[in-house]
Structure 1
Amino acid sequence: MQCSWKAVLLLALASIAIQYTAIRTFTAKSFHSCPIPVNCSLSQDADAAERLCDESPTFAYNLSTRKTHVLILATTRSGSSFVGQLFNQHFDVFYLFEPLYHVQYTLIPKLTQSKSTTDRRVMLGASRDLLRSLYDCDLYFLENYIKPQPVNHTTDRLFRRGASKALCSPPVCEALGAVDLHLEEGDCVKKCGTLNLTLATESCREHGHVAIKTVRVPEVSDLRALVEDPRLNLKVIQLVRDPRGILASRSETFRDTYRLWRIWDGTGRKPYNLDVTQLTMVCEDFWNSVSTGLNRPPWLKGKYMLVRYEDLARNPMKKTEEIYDFLGIPMDGNVERWIQNNTRGDRSSSKHKYGTVRNSAATAEKWRFRLSYEIVAFTQRACQQVLAQLGYRAARSEEELKNLSISLVEERDFLPFS
């Protein structure tokens, strides 16, 4: 009898809690749980109360997921800047370019050089905390990692601010007008001056969705805590590229860091002290991360999509439509126009080494003329597993490598896990 009385009272309280939660969700976007009585037997009334408690967090969560949180998970020189622009151009997406740079820049000098598991955990923990805050439009949290510390929430040290359209537009930057819509990164920074993080936070909250690009998280499994966080509606776009193309692009872009690879390419002699981990770590991270995604664990259901850069480069409009369909976000005309204007140009029309104005299909194949066949063959042996996993064919000779009529990309459908 006592248990039945408690269950009735719980039903009344749960009803009030649901109404309160609905009101609070629209303002605070908070997540509420509902306690379950532990002393009741499984009476019919208690079952009903328990079902109400089970459903009320879901009810609150559904109301609080108006924003879609997008994470572009990539590695350096895999086409991630290009993919980022597919979100940066959308009128209702607040896009941030590599905010985790600040975590890496701040923490690496403090960590040991052993690359220990502890160091990796510290980095990933800080990165997840920052991502969670940024998706909640708390840009003040970034101040913990910006050096020197922002004064009055203003800074001129945000990494690649000019790559984020929302940070170079009103109300964050009132100095720009309609004629400044297509500024180069540096021009944006010059005209806008210091970044006011309060205005940036307000702009983030006014946008319907938040997208972040990072090359500083090795594997999708490192994001599990964020993916499973009920306060977020996180969806991961994992971008991959042929490791041979990544190596060619890095060797050209980071000439000092990849100097020994360039010596090998130019002389035909492999240096004895060549750091092969610059290649093998890419392949290992791809293998581990993609294996997780393709195994379709329950925690990734509806949250993961694998995209090959080559597929996007060859058919950018179709692939972009598929991405937006997976995310459940309507693709607007700004994105379509950007694709039309930025996937058919010549590389010389881009002033910046990270620029995105180019013939995308031709760019995806350029590595075949930049690397010697000896380096290509070495890469194919070192990365054999992941090349097969992602559908990249091996070139069996110098002639086959240079013959563009022979495709080295298999036709594959990597359907989203939904």
Structure 2
Amino acid sequence: MTGHTPAAMECSWKAVLLLVLASLAVQYTAIRSFIAKPFTICRIPKHTGCGPGLAASCDPRPQPVTHILILATTRSGSSFIGQLLNQHSDIFYLFEPLYHVQTTLINTSLRFRHPPSAPASADGRRLLLGAYRDLLRSLFDCQLHDLETYIKPTPDNHRTQRLFRRGASKALCSPPVCAAWPPAPGGELDEQEQEVAAAERWEEGECVRRCGALNLTLAARVCAQRHHVAIKTVRIPEIGDLRTLVEDPRLNLKVIQLVRDPRGILASRIDTFPESFRAWKIWRNSGRKPYNLDASHLSATCEDFLNSAGTGLARPGWLKGRYMLVRYEDLAREPEKKTEEIYRFLGVPVDGNVPRWILNNTRGAGASGNHKYATVRDSAATAEGWRFKLTYDMVELVQNICNLTLTQLGYKMVNSPEELRNVSVNLAEDKIFLPFL
């Protein structure tokens, strides 16, 4: 065996050390060069044939993703406006995913936000809003697995039967997420034709029964193939609560704030949630105002509208190009025109599914069945229906509580029972709310 002198050993160790340092320098330079360049996630455009083994045909400059948030309150028509986006073949839509955050963090299914009355409730509100924002950021990036933290029982192998209102999302009820959905009669259909056929025939409950457990991994893959993601929520009170998301450079967030006449909201809540509004129902049926009437939900809703719309209409710089206020009454009265305005604000072309859905779902004689989230109805008549459901005394109370909000949003006061019932008088003024572009 050849011996090694101390000098030779010292030289070899120096050589090794120099090689290690040189390697680290190369890696550091490479990493710095990598992160210095703009980084984008390449989304696979639908029906392009782009996939494994076809990298050469993948467009490295994909269409910009639009992240859409419908900001609303309970019984304001948010299910209706959500469907106007859900029908689009290139929009991945989720209905109220924040429901799971609320029920998990506060272990209850409270439907309405009450004003904080103590420091503890204020802390809880901040915690809840922080969790909401974190989950929205993940979902807009199609990281649907982040929902699993809040779904109970916890999904098994990324599959769940418990996603709230899964049936309200066309993408989650159509191939390939729901392979069990049968093709429409008339021969073989391609994927897009199957999706359209399923959407035209689907009922929410039937979707859940037919499709079985939701595979969140597959759903996330479908989400990533769509160019736009839309989410509807009634759980964030004000646009100001979303500022960190609006200013997040990772998102291209556009917020549609939906408002409705508080008198119409109250009438709808009484009919939809009879247990929670028992005292209001007694007042309406008997004509006598109960001593234990709770109007806090109404004052909270009007306060949220006033503050949120006030922020949006003041047009702060951070909302430029990101905010649009929509009155439910305007949408119900002229659905085609208002839908075009919404899509123009979003910068998304309207596809054929949307006007077809509008035609089929705004000209009906009444609500489809008894489902509280039904959207098949005469939309204009529905918007005015509250005028025959509330007594004048009830309307007068709402007007006293929500006076500033009604004025801000362009809703006229009624001053007599006769004026209340006279539907020839339009209570939503011809007020134009232009998007902040």
TM-score range, shorter chain: 0.7 to 0.9
Q: Distance in 1 between matches of 2:252 and 2:81?
A: 20
Q: Distance in 2 between matches of 1:401 and 1:113?
A: 35
Q: Distance in 2 between matches of 1:406 and 1:348?
A: 24
Tell me whether 1:169 sits opposite 2:188 in the alignment: no
Q: Distance in 2 between matches of 1:109 and 1:64?
A: 41
Tell me whether 1:128 sits opposite 2:133 in the alignment: yes
Tell me whether 1:199 sits opposite 2:218 in the alignment: yes
Task: Summarize the Cα distance change of 1:358–1:230 in structure 2 as closer, same or farther, 3 Å threshold.
Answer: same
Report the counterpart of residue 299 of structure 2 in structure 1: 280
Q: Which amino acid aligns with 2:299?
A: T
Report the counterpart of residue 21 of structure 1 in structure 2: 37
Tell me whether 1:246 sits opposite 2:288 in the alignment: no
User: What does 1:164-243 correspond to in 2, within 5 Å?
Assistant: 164-179=169-184, 180-181=198-199, 182-243=201-262
Specify which of 304, 326, 341 is matched with residue 360 of structure 2: 341
Q: Which amino acid aligns with 2:161?
A: D
Farther off after superposition, 310-319 or 178-187 = 178-187
Specify which of 142, 145, 164 is matched with residue 159 of structure 1: 164
Farther off after superposition, 155-164 or 264-273 = 264-273
Residue segments in structure 1 that go unaligned for 5+ positions in a row: 1-12, 30-61
Q: Distance in 1 between matches of 2:43 and 2:95?
A: 26
TM-score, with length taken from structure 2: 0.82
Q: Which amino acid aligns with 1:168?
A: C
Shift, 1:317, TM fit: 0.2
Task: Summarize the Cα distance change of 1:410–1:113 in structure 2 as closer, same or farther, 3 Å threshold.
Answer: closer
Q: Which amino acid aligns with 1:321?
A: E
Shift, 1:349, TM fit: 3.5
Q: Which amino acid aligns with 1:305?
A: M
Q: 1:65 touches 1:233 (CA, 8 Å); kept in 2? A: no
Q: Distance in 2 between matches of 1:65 and 1:303?
A: 18
Q: 2:148 touches 2:155 (CA, 8 Å); kept in 1? A: yes
Report the counterpart of residue 259 of structure 1 in structure 2: 278
Report the counterpart of residue 318 of structure 2 in structure 1: 299
Q: Which amino acid aligns with 2:300?
A: M
User: What does 1:12-91 correspond to in 2, within 5 Å?
Assistant: 17=33, 21=37, 24-27=39-42, 66-91=64-89
Report the counterpart of residue 416 of structure 2 in structure 1: 397
Shift, 1:389, TM fit: 0.1
Report the counterpart of residue 357 of structure 1 in structure 2: 376
Specify which of 78, 97, 100 is matched with residue 98 of structure 2: 100
Q: 1:248 touches 1:371 (CA, 8 Å); kept in 2? A: yes
Q: Distance in 1 between matches of 2:312 and 2:418?
A: 35
Shift, 1:273, TM fit: 1.2
Q: Which amino acid aligns with 1:68?
A: T
Bigger share in helix: 1
Report the counterpart of residue 118 of structure 1 in structure 2: 123
Q: 1:55-114, CA deviations, whole angstroms, 9 ceiling, x for partnerless residues?
A: xxxxxxx96871100000000000000000001000000000000000001011399996
- How many residue pairs match? The answer is 372
Q: 2:320 touches 2:436 (CA, 8 Å); kept in 1? A: yes
Q: Which amino acid aligns with 1:246?
A: I
Q: Distance in 1 between matches of 2:311 and 2:62?
A: 28
Q: Distance in 2 between matches of 1:329 and 1:348?
A: 29
Q: 1:227-269, CA deviations, whole angstroms, 9 ceiling, x for partnerless residues?
A: 0000000000000000000000000000010110111111222
Report the counterpart of residue 59 of structure 1 in structure 2: none
Report the counterpart of residue 376 of structure 1 in structure 2: 395
Report the counterpart of residue 12 of structure 2 in structure 1: none
Farther off after superposition, 180-189 or 233-242 = 180-189
What is the percent sequence identity of the aligned residues? 64
Q: 1:312-351, CA deviations, whole angstroms, 9 ceiling, x for partnerless residues?
A: 0000000000000000000111001000110000225345
Q: Which amino acid aligns with 1:148?
A: P
Report the counterpart of residue 11 of structure 2 in structure 1: none
Q: Distance in 2 between matches of 1:79 and 1:167?
A: 22
Shift, 1:18, TM fit: 8.2
The runs of at least 4 consecutive aligned structure 1 residues that moved more than 4 Å come to 16-20, 62-65, 110-115
Report the counterpart of residue 49 of structure 2 in structure 1: none
Report the counterpart of residue 190 of structure 2 in structure 1: none
Q: Which amino acid aligns with 1:89?
A: Q
Report the counterpart of residue 147 of structure 2 in structure 1: 142
Q: Which amino acid aligns with 1:300?
A: L
Task: Summarize the Cα distance change of 1:19–1:225 in structure 2 as closer, same or farther, 3 Å threshold.
Answer: closer
SS at structure 1 position matched to 2:377: coil
Q: 1:95-148, CA deviations, whole angstroms, 9 ceiling, x for partnerless residues?
A: 000000000010113999966110000000000000000000000000000011
Q: Which amino acid aligns with 1:403?
A: N
Report the counterpart of residue 53 of structure 2 in structure 1: none
Q: Which amino acid aligns with 1:360?
A: S
Q: 1:26 touches 1:64 (CA, 8 Å); kept in 2? A: no
CA RMSD of aligned residues (A): 2.2
Task: Summarize the Cα distance change of 1:91–1:113 in structure 2 as closer, same or farther, 3 Å threshold.
Answer: same
Q: Which amino acid aligns with 1:125?
A: G
Q: Which amino acid aligns with 1:81?
A: S
Q: Distance in 2 between matches of 1:26 and 1:190?
A: 35
Q: Based on CA coordinates, which of the two structures has the bigger radius of gyration?
A: 2
Task: Summarize the Cα distance change of 1:27–1:408 in structure 2 as closer, same or farther, 3 Å threshold.
Answer: closer
Q: 1:25 touches 1:64 (CA, 8 Å); kept in 2? A: no
Report the counterpart of residue 386 of structure 2 in structure 1: 367
Report the counterpart of residue 7 of structure 2 in structure 1: none
Q: 1:65 touches 1:232 (CA, 8 Å); kept in 2? A: no
Residue segments in structure 2 that go unaligned for 5+ positions in a row: 1-28, 45-59, 111-115, 185-197
